[in-house]
């Protein structure tokens, strides 16, 4: 008795389902990559212009590597900086801070001066020479 199979086994492989999965993954990664925002500081870079800014005084602030501050030639600690800067801001409305930092100075100390200036509405110029 000779038994024959009614269905033949096919050795072919259909790639259509695999390509569907690849396209779905591609779409998923394209959508999620546009939603990611890097953590960066927003800087306002001035545009080129011939307009001159009238500044009454520059407040020279220097941050040293040892964590001390020099405000208009006076040495002080980190606890005295905010009080002296707010007193200087109260005297003059058109003042701008010129911030200098040593090469090994802490960025936290420089950020402290920037926070004080921002809370008082004073502009800061970073002097990097």
Measured CA distances, 68 to 34, 77, 102, 113 (Å): 43, 5, 11, 12
Place of tokens 């005295």: 80
* DSSP H or E segment with residue 58: strand 58-63
Q: Is the pTM value of this prediction over 0.85?
A: no
**Sequence-ordered list of residues with C-beta below 8 angstroms from that of 119, at least 6 positions apart, any chain:** none
Q: For position 27, what pLDDT does the model report?
A: 93
- The partner residues of 76 in beta bridges, in order of sequence, read 69
pLDDT in tens, 70-121: 888 888 887 888 888 888 777 766 778 888 888 888 888 888 888 888 888 8
Domains and CATH numbers, the chain: 58-126 (3.30.420.270)
* DSSP H or E segment with residue 29: helix 16-35
Q: Is the pLDDT of residue 127 over 70?
A: yes
Place 23 in a pLDDT band, splitting at 50, 70 and 90: very high
The chain-wide mean pLDDT, for the chain, equals 80
């Amino acid at each position: 008795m000779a038994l024959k199979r009614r269905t033949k086994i096919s050795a072919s492989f259909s790639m259509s389902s695999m390509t569907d999965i690849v396209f779905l993954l591609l779409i998923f990664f394209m959508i999620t990559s546009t939603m990611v925002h890097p953590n960066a500081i927003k800087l306002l870079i001035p545009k080129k212009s011939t307009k001159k800014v009238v500044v009454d005084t520059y407040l020279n602030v220097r941050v040293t590597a040892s964590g001390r501050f020099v405000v208009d030639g006076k040495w002080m600690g980190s606890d005295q900086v905010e009080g002296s800067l707010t007193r200087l801001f109260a005297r003059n409305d058109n003042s701008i801070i010129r911030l200098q930092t040593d090469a090994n100075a802490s960025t936290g100390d420089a950020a402290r001066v920037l926070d004080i200036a921002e809370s008082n509405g004073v502009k800061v110029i970073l002097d990097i020479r």
